[in-house]
Structure formats: structure tokens, C-alpha cells
Chain A
């Protein structure tokens, strides 16, 4: 028997299979097949030569949800609100982040005004009914939805986070009267306040629901026909997985499943290396992403906004999403001069087509990858294991315009491009670490994806991270991370209480309720035994009067109020430079993270048979190490490096899907699992 993870990306469908009996890990990729994604999955399964009947656990991650939203390919969706509030979705928050642009354009709502309807009902902020629900108002709405061919309806009433009764009743009626229409009530997705944010979340869930339903059905049928009939799981945005059934009703929780799997992979690397605090970095073609893992736990927030940028308010989605900072600098990012001649890198990217100039596919703009070739980091004959021949002359020709602008030679220009790209990434890494009150010296930097390894040593050193770890299979990182995911659900209860009125019993009682809820949720999942469940609690607190809070972990079985408050003061001071000992403190949110432990793949230690440091030496190469100058680096073949190997930089470690750089003064060590450890 074995466990399979499939990650469908824009270009490749990655598959990782772990054979429980032999402990062998298989990784394969095939081209993604956009017209029918299941084809790509079948191709990858065939390449991996895995018998579908042997698969006992299947987890799936992909971009179906986010693509449907960003490409505006969801279904025709309607929205029903409390009378007086159908325009809230269009009014949004009214902010203009692009504040000097007097031609500002707001993000357009996903439901046009003629499909936004109102029914009479009203709750107050405590959840008391002020006006009863008038279900008869639905008559005309149902008729219009039928006439217009609406495929999904979202319902969002004011204060439904406090009392969902009206929303539930309305949704039930709609499901009865519109059986072929997907219905989402906002409280089913989030129980947080703020009407616009909740409305938008419900609308986006409805907008993609029929698409995900159809896709999952097709996938189950196709793979089932091949004999793959085990329970299917979907990777969620919160770093955990869930059953297909739950995901079908809550598809918006899958919105960032790919990146979340990557972060999860980094957490697993940390666990395997006994390093519970990890800063994760993934450098792709157009962007770099980073995130922090504290004490083995991924950081999750509900402040996620789709399509957000410094100038665009984006679309808020109030579901738990791994806290990732993404910047527009990646391997394909183009270097250019602005109007006054300042050198910039990104956010424009050469993408996969035409790609960097050195790919020789017609690209003429200088990119970060071209710079890596020109500085000697990349071997033109061993890129992607030699599958793509890199053209140094074309890279140099493209880089010439940067060299001309700076008045330097092509190699120096390439240095400059790399330094700028690294600086952008450093700022993002600092944003998730230092600016959130963490000291990078307590962390290791774990690199995922194909592009991260050649930047990691430089970034890790500037950040001050203790160690840089490049795990095995960096090119299959997301799929590998998914194999390690556990079924997870986050439960949040907002309950505003002054600290002086809270007792340890109150906290215990609340967590008992949340546990009951969690056990009920997992009880419906036949793959999970009650004894495999584990729980972690966190309480958000703030000084009275503040709106934002700081979270601290809580011992749910034996909480002490003094202990929680002491932790809060320390955490507030770490995050914001001050604490207010005399100011009353409020309890705000009680979080329960429930995870079901499932057998995790254990990596086999590296078999040193036939491996040695000498055998791994491929030769030497002149490499420009930025501020460290130019050096003759020893080039090593990763697959021949034995566990226990240690070597001093300057080094280059090459493998099929990545090249790792070790600076002069840095030390490389190969650990027993075969991970590269640079310090």
C-alpha cells in the first residue's frame, strides 16, 4: 500500500508516491493538461508506474479554484442580502490605496447589481432578531434566478456571524426551491464579523462551487475506473487537508492550496531536522513566496486578499490561509531601468514563454536566470539535468543594456541584477520574520521549489538565519509537502471578554465545546479515528480599546489566566516594542486547531553505498559571489554526496532540478537524510 500526492501547477503536474511497505519515494512530473486536468494526473501516474489499486491515501492540490477566480471563469452567481444592503458588495470599503491616482478603478464585484437581491430580516449585533425573516420575499428572487440561468447563490445577512438562524433558514429554502443551484450561506464559510468581507467570501465560494463539484466528480470517476478507489483528500489553504465532500461545499478554502502545501513541506523538513522554527522560501519563475513556521506550526491568518497589491484593494477572503508574503521577483523577472535610470528587477517576468534570454526561445530581456548564468552559478550544459541548453551569448547580449546603463561589464551588470533581486527577497523575508517580532537567528531557512537553492545561501546569511537547508527533491516540494499533510480544521469562536471577568473554568468550558465540535466534524470522516485527533489552542488578546490582537498559545486542559496574560504582555512587547501593564486586557478569539494524525512518510536515511566526496567532484568553475567577489568554486554532483560529507565554500552543488550555491566562509554538510545544510 502507499500514499500518493498530486500537485497540479500551471506547467507541470507533480506526483509523489510513498510506498509504505518499502519506504521508497517516487517523484514524477508530466505536463499539465489544462483542457482536462485528469489526463495529466493519469499521465503522471503512468510515469511513476504505480498500481492505482495500491494507493491507500490520495491527496490533491491544484489551482482550479484560484484560476476560476482570477480568469473570471466561475458561474453566473447571485447574492441575497438583508434589505437595504445589496450594494455593500459593490461599495466595498471605499478605500483608494493608489492614493495619488485620480483615475482610481475599484475591483469589480463578482455579482452584478441586477443579480443582487434583498429580503426583509434583521439581527442585531448580539444576534437577537429585530425583524423576522420574510421567506415570501424569495418568490420573486427564485423566479428571476431561474429565468436568468443563475447557477450559484450566496446569502449574506447582517450579523450572521453572531446568529446564523436566518441565513440557515433562507439557504435551506433556496436549496429546496433551486435544487440544481449551488447555495452558500456566509456563516458556513466564516464566522467573523465585517459584512463586506463575509459577503465577498460567500460570493467567491458560490462562484466556484459548481466548477469544483464537476471537476471532483470527474476526477473520482476517472481514477475510480482505473482502480484508484481510496478516500480522496483535498489540500486546503490552511496547511491541512480535508475530504472531497467537505471541500465540495467549501471550495474557497482551497484557494491557496499549492503554496500552503509548500509551507507544509517546509514544516516537515523542520520536523525531520529537529528544527521547529523555520523560515520558508520558494522562488518560482515570476514570484518569490515566504512564510514562517513557529514551533512546528504553520502561521495561518484570515486576512487573505485575492489580487491585492499596493495599489489594488483586492478581494478579501476570510478563510484560514497560510500566512505567505509574495513578491514579484523570481527567476524570470526582467531587469530594467526606470525613467531616471535606476535599475529595477521585476515585477515583469519573461515567464515560461519566451522565458529568459538564455533559453534561446526568443527572449531578449535580461532576467535573473540570465544573470545566474553569466555569474557562473548555472552550468549551461546541465540546466534541468541538461534537458535545456542555456545560451550564454544570448544572455550576455540581453544583459548588455544593463551593463551600458551602469557603465560596467556584462558580468558586473549580472552581479547588480542578482543583488537587487536578493534585496527584494530579503525585504520579504524580514517582513515575515523581524517585522512580526521574530529573531531570524532562532530560525533555519528552508528552500523549496527549483529556483530557491541558488539564492538561499546569500539570503540566509544576510538574514542571519542559523542554517540554510536544501531538502531532497526541491523541485517536487509542494507535492512532497502534501504527502505530509494531516486532515485539519480550524475552529474560531469570537467571544469578547474583559480579562478580569474570565476564569480558567470559562476557558476550559469553551474549549470543551470547540473540541466537541471538532470531534463531530471528524466523526463524519471515516478515515479518522478519534484517538488520532490532536488539538492545539490559541487565544487572541488585546489591550482594551485596541482592535487588533496578539495570539498566545494556551494549555486547554489546565489554563491559568495569569499565565495567558503574562504571555500576552511579552508577546505584545516583542511585536510592538511596548506593553501596558496597567491597561485592562480583553480576550477576543479562541482558536482550536484540530488535526488528525495520519501515518507520515518517513524518509529513509541516505544509503552511502557508492557515494563519496571525491566521486561527487565534477570539476571547478569561476563564479561571481556578489559582494564576496569572484572565486574558483568546486562543483559537486548532489546525487553522489554521502551523508556525513562536510566541505568549505566556495562550492556549487548541482542536481537535476536545482543548483545550490555555498559562499566562501560557509560550510556545507550533508545530513543523514541527504539534505544540504549550509551554515
Chain B
């Protein structure tokens, strides 16, 4: 490392820092452009997208603050385009891919990749990935929870040259138009992504022009090297050893059987290996993820361990080794369905998190509701007689920490700067009415010295004659885990009233609903931290006053006795707590 400074006569750390700032600003600008131009609520309101700039080898240099699911996919996707096209890349090309087996995630996540040429030389790539609302397939919204092959999950773009000489190829646009149920939305999102990769190209050209190619390339290397150095320092500070965790995935959408998964984390010096050998083979149902998504989920937790706030790039992950044989639930191969891959991904993150949590309490919380609890509604809007599709991830409870209660109603690990839908906004657009959006205090959260955060209850009423729902929620049997004596959290489920009966489900394909039916999305509370009897009685009392915890729970779980006037009975509390 140290001779680098001398090796490059133009090494100027201050200017490098300035160039780094400009690259970050360019990535931010890409994100602004996508959100502003997109036509899918899941992109402009929920912000389910990410953007980045890679070097000519595909190594990610800068990324927008989007969602964690794309933390590790960019490099793999760009590499796959390099493998596919090699020297046959030209100025003005743009490539499109959504292939889960080649670095991608699921068919709905469409990546546009633009090689950036400056004076005829390939100097980098700009990449944008966004979740399109519809890409065809067996069900509207494209991800059937009971799909058994990827062919049921819509159209695949295995790396198409969608622009030549900066001109969009009209035949590919026609292909999109004829294979998707909401073509205007899809093509709108395509345009938004295209605008983003083009803006990045413009900015990269400006930066190269101002600072010169050698200097900028040197800066790329510097950004990666310094991040690698920080990651190595962080790992070196952790005790060497082998750490394990095991868990179950609650059903795959085709069967309800619990699926065993595990990880072994090996820390040796400055490197970390994550070995998922022993996890279940790929399943028939679509909760599998492929290697790209596995890589993202491991990198997510790794990044939160080594330095959560610093901007992400490929350098951070150089000391990370990933081991997993082909054909497991985390490394699915063609034609295994991956529509609900984030269920598999979330569990991969969760395994790593669970294995490492005791090592770094300053970085981690207890277990969370974990699953995105993705819920789809589709049908016909009586006002327009047009088809509607509504996609919602749900927020839920996160685990308690050594020094703080868990955060309630927060989006899952797999996402990030992801918003819940404004009720007012979507009630104006789709024939659904929300009857309740509240903290799930009935389900509760893990008790502890620090309490888990609460999940939510979101109750929909159907105000259309033709409507359907489908969903796939994890953590419906195994609750979020507590830490150091803290209690477990609560589970996720969907409940719906139909034909005079109430049904409770967690992964369900294609349920028809009638006008007036109610559907409740219920997410779990996070795990607790520490012995509940160590929670200060005044904190328990405040929880009772706020209706987070009942008086019975205060007495039963926390050993705090609160009288009818709402006051803490210190003596009775001491007796109760002393008795344990």
C-alpha cells in the first residue's frame, strides 16, 4: 500500500477526494432522475431501485443509497455483460438484463447497463436497476407465490443490446409492449432508467475531461483500495473463530414444510468466509435466490459490520469469501423459480446476522420481522374498467439493542430507503380502501431489558367487484429471535374475511376476493434484548400508559405491578422481581 503514493507521480489525495465527491454526486443524480421520471408507484413512491457507476472491469465504484438487495448484484451483472459482449461493445450501446442466474435477482428487476467510452476507450459502466410492476407471466405482477419454473415469472432479457448508437431498438420495445400487462408503465420505467444511465455517462465524461483519464482511473483504484483497507482493519479487530447459525424458512409457497438453512462464518486474520454448505437444495416454490442475490445479502450484513455509513463500493468486499455449492436454495439454477427471491435472500442475511450478533453488539440488534411481507392485489378498477396491480412491501418490528428499544414499523433488511405507500395516494388510484394502519400491539414484541419494536396491522377493504390477492410472508412459524435473555418477537401473517369466514395464511397464490372483503396484513414485533426483569419499572409504566404493553404483560413478562390509577406499585414489583 505504502509504495503506491510514490508509484504515482500524480497521486494527489485532495484532488482524489474531490473526484470521489463528484462521482457520488453523479450516482445521486441518477437516483433523482429515476424517481422523477418513473411511471411505477413501486419505483417513484416506494423507491425500489438502485444506480451505480462501475470501472471497466465491472467493479462498483459508487452507488446510490437505494436498497440493500442490489448491494452485490451490480458487479456480477456488468461482468456478465462483459463476458457476453467482450470487444463487441461500442459507444452508444445500452444493454438490458433481468437474468437471475447471471447476477440478477428476479425477472421484475430490470438492469440497464451503459458502457461509457471516452475518446474511444471503455472507461466504465453506468448501471440502473429498477423493479418494474409487471413483466408478464402467470399472474399479474409476475411473481406467482406458487410458481415452479422461471417461465411462469414473465419475460426474460438475458442481456439484450437495447440501444445502438444511442438509438433505442424499436423491435425490443415492441417485444416489451406485447409481453407485459402494463406496457405503458414498463416503457415509462425503461425511459427513466435510460435517462439515468445517460446522465451518469455525461457526468463521467465531464470528470474525465477535467481531471484526465490517468488521474480518474487512479482515483477509481484508490477508492477501492482504501475501502478494502478499512474492511480488513475491521475484520482484524474481531476474534478469529468459527461461528454458526441455523434457521428454518417457513414454507416455499408450494408446500408448508419448514426448510432448514445454515451458515458457517469463519474469521481468520483480515478475511471472512461465509459458507452456506448444508443449506437445503433449491425448492420447487419461488423463494429461492440465485448467487447474485446471495452475494447481496451477505454483503449487506458484512457492510453493516465493517462500516455501515461509508459509501459502498466493491473494495469493501474484497476480504469476503462466499462458499455455497450450486443448486441450493441460495444458489438456485435454471429453471428454478426466483420470483420471491428476497425471502431466500432475507434468510441468508439473517443467518449471517444471527451468527455475528454476539460478536458485535454495537453493530447489531436482535432478530426482526425480516420478511418484506410482499402483498399483491390485482383486478379490475370499476371506475376505469382497466386492470390494476398494487404491490406493497410491509414494514414491521425490529429487534432490541443493548442500549435501546427496537424500532417499530420499519422496512426489512432486504430493502432500505424504501417507503410505505401513502394511503391517500393509492386510494385515489386503485379500488382498495384502508380501514386501519396501526402498530401491532396485540401481537406484541419481544420482552427484554430493551423491548423489541412493534410490527403493524394494515387492513384493506376491497371496493371492486373483481379482485385477487397473493402474498408470500416468511417468519410465520419461527418468530424473530431475542438476544441475551430477551424474549422472542411475534410472527407475520395475512388474515382475510371471505364468504363469511376468516382465513389466516402466510404464502398464498391467487385468492379471489369479493367487494367488501377485508384483508389484514399483520407483521411481527422484533426480539427483545436482556432480561425483562431488568427493564426499569418506569419504562414499563410508560409502555402501559402508551398502550404498547398491557398491565397483564407488565406483570407477567416484566414483573412490574401497575395499579388501577396507572401508578407502579414499587413494593409488589420488588416482591415479584425478587422472587425470580
Contacts and interface: CB of A to CB of B under 8 A. Distances in A.
Contacts of B420: 91, 93-95
A310 to B, nearest CB: 7
B353 A102 contact: yes
Interface stretch (B82-90, B280-288, B402-410, B476-484): B402-410
Contact of A87 (B22, B422, B437): B437
* Chain A interface SS verdict (over half): loop
B44 interface: yes
Nearest to A337: B13
Interface string B220-236: 00000010011001000
B304 A100 contact: yes
Nearest to A106: B407
A420 B22 CA distance: 12
Interface stretch (A177-185, A214-222, A339-347, A611-619): A339-347
Given A420-B17, A547-B38, A96 B191 contact: no
B230 A194 contact: no
Contacts of B415: 96, 99
B188 A545 contact: yes
Contacts of B37: 546, 548, 576, 578
Interface string A157-176: 01101000000000000000
Contact of B33 (A90, A576, A583): A576
A544 interface: yes
A423 B207 CA distance: 13
Contacts of A310: 65
A97 B416 contact: yes
B407 A105 contact: yes
Interface in A614-633: none
B395 interface: yes
Chain A, interface size category, equals 35 or more
Contact of A112 (B16, B226, B301, B546): B546
B439 interface: yes
Interface residues of B, number: 83
B514 interface: no
Most buried by B among A92, A406, A577: A577
A431 B365 CA distance: 36
A104 B410 contact: yes
Given A193-B428, A310-B65, A91 B437 contact: yes
A96 B546 contact: no
Contacts of A546: 36-39, 44, 188
A125 interface: yes
A124 interface: yes
A125 B424 contact: yes
A99 B417 contact: yes
Contact of A102 (B14, B413, B456, B546): B413
B121 interface: no
B309 A91 contact: no
A342 B15 CA distance: 11
B459 interface: yes
Nearest to B405: A105
A86 interface: yes
Contact of A114 (B22, B44, B425, B546): B546
Contacts of A545: 39, 184-185, 188
A93 B419 contact: yes
B308 A96 contact: no
A91 B32 CA distance: 25
A101 B368 CA distance: 13
A158 B38 CA distance: 26
Most buried by B among A93, A125, A130, A546: A93
A427 B459 contact: no
A307 interface: no
Interface in A109-132: 112-114, 124-125, 130
B545 interface: yes
B21 interface: yes
A424 B21 contact: yes
Interface in A57-97: 84-88, 90-97
Contact of B395 (A86, A94, A158, A576): A94
Contacts of B308: 98, 100-102
B320 to A, nearest CB: 14
Contact of B417 (A95, A125, A419, A580): A95
B433 interface: yes
B131 interface: no
Interface string A332-354: 00000001111110000000000
Interface string A309-334: 01100000000000000000000000
A493 interface: no
Given A95-B418, A342-B13, A547-B41, A576 B195 contact: yes
Contact of A113 (B65, B233, B548): B548
Given A96-B410, A310-B65, 18 more contacts: A85-B437, A87-B437, A87-B439, A94-B409, A94-B410, A95-B47, A99-B417, A100-B300, A103-B363, A103-B365, A105-B404, A114-B545, A311-B309, A344-B17, A420-B14, A435-B25, A543-B39, A546-B37
Sorted from nearest, which 8 A-B pairs have the closest CB atoms?
A99-B416, A545-B39, A94-B395, A84-B436, A125-B428, A113-B546, A100-B308, A423-B18
Interface of A: 84-88, 90-106, 112-114, 124-125, 130, 158-159, 161, 193-197, 310-311, 339-344, 406, 416, 419-420, 423-424, 427, 430-431, 435, 543-548, 575-578, 580, 583
6 contacts: A84-B434, A101-B309, A105-B407, A194-B425, A419-B15, A435-B25
